[in-house]
Amino acid sequence: MEHSYFVIARALHVVAVVLWIGGVAFVSTVLIPAIRKMPSTENRLALFETLEHKFGFQAKLTTLVTGLSGFYMLYVLNGWASMQWWVHLMLFIWTLFMLVLFVLEPLFLHKWFHQQAQKNSERAFHYLQLMHSILLSISLLAVFAGVAGVHGLFY
């Protein structure tokens, strides 16, 4: 029975990661580049904030499901003491996103970006795209290393 729960947790983990990192990929490679091409800086900011707000709920939910299923798997595997480097990488990314989504963004990041975009839209959206691209790259690395690690590439 515990084995079935473990397999369900693993499947939920992957579904949540697909939705979450897929959304980050869309925002980084399609949404922000398209918004940067808009001529009106005011429309740029309004559109970005509307769409990012919509994605925000999905990102929070999928981050929570990824974390819950991940910690459950670690508990079943009794894997805290023998965590491989790729599990450390997953934990690092998860912690980073949790911090941004649940602490930094509501506390000051949202307001700060709004002010920066009003002062200098080109610069603000350039750095926004850069930060999203860095987060996306390390997330994709974690997906690659996670699948490769689970299936024995590093043994």
Could you give the count of Cα atoms lying within 13 Å of 21 in the half-sphere of its Cβ?
Answer: 21
Closer residue to ligand HEM (CB): 30 or 141: 141
Q: Taking the complex as a whole, how short is the minimal distance between the CB of residue 60 and ligand HEM, in angstroms?
A: 14
Contact 69, 34 (CB under 8 A): no
Torsion of CA 38, 42, 43, 49, to 10 degrees: 110
Closer residue to ligand HEM (CB): 59 or 73: 73
Q: Taking the complex as a whole, how short is the minimal distance between the CB of residue 146 and ligand HEM, in angstroms?
A: 3
Question: In the chain, at which residue ranges do the beta strands (DSSP E only) sit?
Answer: none
Which stretches of the chain bind ligand HEM, using CB under 6 A?
A: 10, 13-14, 17, 21, 66-67, 70-71, 73-74, 77, 79, 87, 90-91, 93-94, 139, 142-143, 146-147, 150
Q: Taking the complex as a whole, how short is the minimal distance between the CB of residue 24 and ligand HEM, in angstroms?
A: 9
Kindly give, in sequence order, each residue whose CB lies less than 8 Å from that of residue 80, ignoring residues fewer than 6 positions away. Answer: 74
Q: Taking the complex as a whole, how short is the minimal distance between the CB of residue 125 and ligand HEM, in angstroms?
A: 25
Closer residue to ligand HEM (CB): 10 or 110: 10
Closer residue to ligand HEM (CB): 30 or 147: 147
Handedness of CA 122, 126, 132, 135 (dihedral sign): negative
Separation between Cα atoms, residue 118 and residue 51, nearest integer Å: 18
